[in-house]
Structure 1
Amino acid sequence: MELPLTTPALLFPAISLLLLAYTNRFLTLATLIRSLHSDYKAQPDPFTLVEIRSLRYRVRLVRDMQFLGVSSFLLCVVCMSVLFAGQVWLGSLLFGVSLFLMICSLAFSVREIQVSIDALDLHLRDLETLR
């Protein structure tokens, strides 16, 4: 299979936007955690502890998503360098690994979304019990 130098370059905009989205998720979680921390210090609530556990797991997922996304990006750059040097077989291998890492990153993203939805559902159930 022939792998032109431009094929890995096509992933650059997608990976960059994905990493930006991951960073936004991380910043939102960090803000929420800081807010919950101060709320809990002011008035301890067992419900808040459950939410904090969920947020801790989500932060780990986002960390792993970012790690895999950056690793994919790095391998894409290395792949382009190797292709530029004329090593098509190695370049194809690196590009395949890069794609695999991106798939893993996206799978972690799907899991983080599921956990986020579960946390929102917990809030909705709590509101329903207040009626």
Structure 2
Amino acid sequence: MNPALNLTTPALLFPAISLLLLAYTNRFLGLAAIIRHLYDDYRKSRDQKILRQIGNLRTRIALIKWMQFLGVGSLFLCVVAMFQVYTGWPVLAQLSFGISLLLMIASLGISLAELVMSSDALKILLSDLEAQKEA
């Protein structure tokens, strides 16, 4: 069964996509501030641990870029689907909306991977603190 797509179906994703893009941007800005701070610390101490952290953050920044790219693509195709419904192209609208959903799924999957990387980085920092405490 192929349900009919109307204007309200893609419009329901607007608030969710907008909030996700805002969250992704906040994550990006937070990481950018951490990188700037670590860069200053590295210039002072030349600690190799800082370089490892910056490498991890570089990967996470790349993931956030892809999360944002896919999220924007999802929003764009939602708007295209709404336009196609409005202009009377229901088959194309369903295709556009379906691809939009797939892009959002991919964006959320990458977000989950970035979250795991973030947790792993915190575990490394905590283990360093625990090792200093024991010494």
Is TM (by shorter chain) over 0.5?
yes
Offset, 1:78: 0.5
Q: For residues 28 and 131 of structure 2, what CA distance do their matches in structure 1 show?
A: 30
Offset, 1:128: 1.0
Q: For residues 129 and 47 of structure 1, what CA distance do their matches in structure 2 show?
A: 14
Match of 2:119 among 117, 120, 127: 117
Q: For residues 38 and 51 of structure 2, what CA distance do their matches in structure 1 show?
A: 9
Match of 1:29 among 18, 28, 31: 31
Q: Hey, what does 2:110 align to over in structure 1?
A: 108
Return the letter of the residue paired with 2:30. Answer: T
Match of 1:68 among 67, 70, 78: 70
Q: Hey, what does 1:95 align to over in structure 2?
A: 97
Unmatched 5+ stretches in structure 2: none
Match of 1:15 among 2, 14, 17: 17
Q: For residues 38 and 125 of structure 1, what CA distance do their matches in structure 2 show?
A: 23
Return the letter of the residue paired with 1:48. Answer: I
Q: Hey, what does 2:5 align to over in structure 1?
A: 3
Q: For residues 52 and 3 of structure 1, what CA distance do their matches in structure 2 show?
A: 46
TM-score between both structures, scaled by the size of structure 1: 0.99
Match of 1:56 among 36, 58, 73: 58
Q: State the Cα deviation string for residues 40-94 of structure 1 (Å, max 9, x = none).
A: 0011101101101100000000000000000000000011001101111110010
Unmatched 5+ stretches in structure 1: none
Q: Hey, what does 1:42 align to over in structure 2?
A: 44
Q: Which runs of 4+ in 1 moved over 3 A?
A: none
Aligned length: 131
2:111 match: secondary structure? helix
